[in-house]
Structure 1
Amino acid sequence: MIRTKTRIFTVLAVGMLALAGCTGGGEDPAPSPPAEESAPSDGGGGNSYATEGPVEEDTEETAECKADDSNQDVPAEAPTADAWPDYHGTGVPVSDTYGPTSREGEVWTCFSHSPTGALFAAAYLRPAVASTEVREAYVSDDPKSSEGDFEHPRMQLRGYKITGYDDTAVSVELVYEGATNGESGLVAFPVTVYWEDNQWALHEEDISSVKPHSVTGLSGYTQWSVG
């Protein structure tokens, strides 16, 4: 299925429209999240958004995926991120254990084949799908595109819940905080990743049909954000 640039932009923008619906002056706007919910200090936070040290480029020695697949449990609490490097305005959790253990330019690869690895992959792919390189690498049924990058939405991850899991696919909802008209609000994005060709991948039909929705707090979700 061939996707137009307008269609992708609409999908990327729809979350901010949902956010606008809950904070942008409607008849019943949702309140801004309490400080302890929107910026938790104990939700698996690692270091700051800045990447610590140079990004390791792939070599013959580092090309083999070193992510740890041994823990197949669905995480009962927020996994610890070793850092939260900035990806076009969004902090993305990274882990030496669960991935991505290789970061080269826009494309970050090597996530563990586990529920936690899938969670880290989803948290990266949600903002990264705006990149042409990432779509070519991770959207399994999308043709190569020369349309260029799309606008990267600037929102910060606040929490998640895993809604389905087996060894071939993991479905999660990722809750992001963003701002519109000077007010902040929370938006939940459903994301499903599929284990294909030794990596977690996205399906184009899922991206096109995603339906983010506004939430008023993190009840029912696990808090997960930079500390």
Structure 2
Amino acid sequence: MQDQEMVDRKPWYMAKGWLTASAVFIGALAAAGVYLVVTQDAQPGGAVTASSPSPAVPKVSSSPAEGDSVCGLEAGDQTVPESAPATSWDLVGKVAAPSVEGSGPGVVDDDGFRYCFAHSPTGALVAAATQLPMSANESTAKQWMDKSVADSPERDEELQAMTDPARVKDFVAAGTARGVPQLRAFRFISYDQTSAVVDLVVEYPDGMVAIPSEMTWQDGDWRYQPPASGRLAADTVRTLDGYVEWSGVS
């Protein structure tokens, strides 16, 4: 029998302040107010575990049909990465943020906020990994909500609420309550030119979880798409078998 841990709160689409009441992308919640199921030993037919082989992902060879990058980055290579890209890492607060030449971020603001990623699989990967440090820092969390979360009425409501600095502080504190998260590995679940789903392995002081991170191409950039079901399954990870190791902090 698989053991599960569930965060008991309303789904985001039923709750006001859907990204505030608990945690953000980090904390293995990826969106506050979303039900979280942490699976320790998934049964066949359940959530994918760390030791399972990676799902087949199409290797797109053509250029994207539409949608220019908001900062002019070229789409570039459309091959889904099966190894870690050459990456430079910077600490944003205490969380490592990746940069990959040609894939993004194309813009780094003075406050450390990063956005604009190539319309490519590697661009989607770097964008997904960047959600971690951007949502975990008080100086970047509001911009993350504005520029890196897919449009919705709930997102707009929360963005308005975050004009209050106390709201931002509570938002970040809830997401980092488990400790400082660091990226450890990834694997692609699916990719096409409008969306990507990437499993990100995130390590906390008490262990690792794999978070399925859906990104959607919107307004010239990759944006995080909270789960429409209001439920986000996250696997407990004991081994990185089946994943591509990718980390900026040892």
Scaled by the length of structure 2, the TM-score of the pair is 0.63
Verify the 8 A CA contact 2:127 2:222 in the aligned structure 1.
yes
Q: How far off its partner does 1:203 sit?
A: 2.5
Q: C-alpha deviations, 1:136-165, integer Å up to 9, x for none?
A: 212222112323242253122111000000
Please, which of 191, 209, 214 is the counterpart of residue 231 of structure 2?
209
Verify the 8 A CA contact 1:161 1:222 in the aligned structure 2.
yes
1:136 is matched with 146
Q: C-alpha deviations, 1:57-80, integer Å up to 9, x for none?
A: xxxxxx972433120010121111
Equivalent positions of 1:51-66 (< 5 A) are 65-66=71-72
**In 1, Cα distance between equivalents of 2:242 and 2:225:** 26
1:173 is matched with 199
**In 1, Cα distance between equivalents of 2:118 and 2:229:** 22
Verify the 8 A CA contact 1:189 1:211 in the aligned structure 2.
yes
Verify the 8 A CA contact 2:90 2:97 in the aligned structure 1.
yes
Q: How far off its partner does 1:123 sit?
A: 0.2
Consecutive unaligned residues in structure 2, runs of 5 or more: 1-12, 30-35, 41-68
Verify the 8 A CA contact 1:93 1:124 in the aligned structure 2.
yes
Q: How far off its partner does 1:208 sit?
A: 5.1
SS in 2 for 1:212: strand
2:107 is matched with 102
**In 2, Cα distance between equivalents of 1:168 and 1:21:** 29
2:210 is matched with 188
Consecutive unaligned residues in structure 1, runs of 5 or more: 23-62
Scaled by the length of structure 1, the TM-score of the pair is 0.69
Instruction: Compute the RMSD of aligned alpha carbons.
Output: 2.8
Q: How far off its partner does 1:110 sit?
A: 1.4
**In 1, Cα distance between equivalents of 2:229 and 2:132:** 9
Q: How far off its partner does 1:206 sit?
A: 5.4
Please, which of 74, 85, 102 is the counterpart of residue 80 of structure 2?
74
Q: State, as a whole percentage, how many aligned pairs show the same letter.
A: 27
Verify the 8 A CA contact 2:197 2:213 in the aligned structure 1.
yes
Change in CA separation of 1:172 and 1:14 when aligned onto 2, cut-off 3 Å: closer
Verify the 8 A CA contact 1:11 1:208 in the aligned structure 2.
no
Task: State the aligned residue count.
Answer: 179
Q: C-alpha deviations, 1:90-149, integer Å up to 9, x for none?
A: 111112311002111243111000000000000001342341221121222211232324
